[in-house]
């Protein structure tokens, strides 16, 4: 399914959206890979790993060697991936702060 990104984008991003649309129309594999990437990003943003298994299955069968390899690596350490998606995390300071 192709999405008309130019119609959805703010004015400043119309040129970029047109390029993405052209790539998706001209390169079906680009559209597939982009779709898989967007879905993976959405899983992390939602902080809900409920669709991860389905995503991994689709990625493994995508026909893209790099995406298949990535999905298999995720599958081999699934507990850590579930935790990365669902548990809160911080890039904050891990120890006390010195006032020196």
Q: How far apart are CA 81 and CA 53, in angstroms?
A: 11
CB atoms within 10 A of CB 71: 22
Q: Which residue has the tokens 């879905």?
A: 39
List pLDDT tens digits, range 21-50.
Answer: 888 888 888 888 889 999 999 998 999 999
Contact yes or no for 58/91 (Cβ under 8 A) = no
Mean pLDDT taken over the chain: 83
| Residue-wise pLDDT tens digits, 48-67 | 999 999 999 999 999 999 99
DSSP 25: H
């Amino acid at each position: 399914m192709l999405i008309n990104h130019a119609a959805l984008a703010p004015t400043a991003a119309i040129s970029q959206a047109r390029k993405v649309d052209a790539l998706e129309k001209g390169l079906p594999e680009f559209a597939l890979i982009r779709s898989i990437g967007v879905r993976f990003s959405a899983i992390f943003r939602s902080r809900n790993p409920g669709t991860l298994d389905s995503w991994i299955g689709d990625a493994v069968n995508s026909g893209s060697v790099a995406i298949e390899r990535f999905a298999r690596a995720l599958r081999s350490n699934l507990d850590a991936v579930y935790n990365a998606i669902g548990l809160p995390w911080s890039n904050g300071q891990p120890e006390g702060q010195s006032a020196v």
